[in-house]
Amino acid sequence: MNNTFIAEILELPVQERIRLIELIWDSIAAIPEAVEVSPALKAELEAHLVEFEANPEAGYFWNQMKSRLKDGSWRTAET
């Protein structure tokens, strides 16, 4: 990708850059098999799945997690 093209993109208004990101994301999501997942990440995801299946009540509901993300409390070790 050439630097001139990148500079032009960065000069776009924020809303247009967001729309461009959405278009790019949608094009990637359309072919999920093209996204490589490393063996280390696969192993980590498997471990999380096993942990969840062993104790599905240990997590958070979406509204709880959203609240923690907004107020920054996700950074603490509190459960």
Q: Which residues, given as ranges, of the chain have pLDDT below 70?
A: 77-79
At 60 the pLDDT is 82
Cα–Cα distance for residue pair 65/49, rounded to 1 Å:
18
At 76 the pLDDT is 77
Residues 6+ apart with CB under 8 A from 34: 28
At 77 the pLDDT is 65
At 14 the pLDDT is 97
At 1 the pLDDT is 77
Q: What is the pLDDT of residues 9-19, one digit of tens each?
A: 999 999 999 99
